[in-house]
Amino acid sequence: MNKQPPTLDKAEKDILRILQSDGRISNVELAEKVGLSESPCFRRTKQLEEKGTIAAYTAILDQRQIGLQVTAFIQVSLNKQDEEETVEFLKKVNAEEHIIECHAMSGAYDYLLKVVTQNMDHFSELVMLQILKYPGVQDLESHFSLKENKLSRALPIPS
């Protein structure tokens, strides 16, 4: 049931590349950079939004400037994949604002969580008082980011 990705023409690819680097660009500037007139550029952008290719527009914040000093990755093993516990585990994960990413994984662990916290005490409380008590959690292992060398939400657009 693999859904084939939509076929994008050059103008649509250019629109996506530009919007990923500057989501606040005006339609006038976007049209100029893409080489379209304003109306077709606006129409194409709206179509990309309606198809879900452009999922959302957002601001990227500097986590340290808002007091989130710790970034950790937590590998989580669940009890032998009890479906009900997994559903409850994911509900808890989705409800916790300090867990900013959750990936189902292949390999030794079931999930990889990306967590941001104010400090190590906050991290410790989050793990010991919450995550370890989430339904189905059998084991976890934490890894801390010492330095962020690259952070990009921009996806490569196939040629």
Task: Compute the mean pLDDT over every residue in the chain, rounded to the nearest whole number.
Answer: 95
Give the chain's count of helices (H) and strands (E).
Answer: 5, 4
pLDDT score at 1: 55
Count of Cβ atoms closer than 10 Å to residue 41 Cβ: 22
Neighbour order of strands in the sheet with 111-117? 99-104, 111-117, 70-78, 137-144
Residues 120 and 76 in one domain: yes
16, pLDDT greater than 80:
yes
Q: Do 45 and 70 lie in a common domain?
A: no
Q: At 129, list the tokens.
A: 């008082």
Number of domains forming the structure of the chain = 2
Which spans in 3-159 are helix H? 10-21, 27-34, 38-50, 83-95, 120-125
Q: Which of 15-19, 53-57, 77-81, 94-98 has the lowest mean pLDDT?
A: 77-81
More confident residue, 46 or 153: 46
Q: Give the residues across from 77 on adjacent strands.
A: 139
Over residues 18-67, the pLDDT tens digits come to: 999 999 999 999 999 999 999 999 999 999 999 999 999 999 999 999 99
Sequence-ordered list of residues with C-beta below 8 angstroms from that of 133, at least 6 positions apart, any chain: none
Q: Are residues 35 and 69 in the same domain?
A: no
Q: Which domain holds residue 72?
A: 63-144
Report the percentage of the chain scoring pLDDT > 90. 92
- pTM, rounded to two decimals: 0.88
Percent of the chain whose pLDDT exceeds 70: 96
**Higher per-residue confidence, 40 vs 5:** 40
Q: Are residues 72 and 94 in the same domain?
A: yes
Q: How confident is the model at residue 159 (pLDDT cuts 50, 70, 90)?
A: confident
Together in a domain, 108 and 134: yes
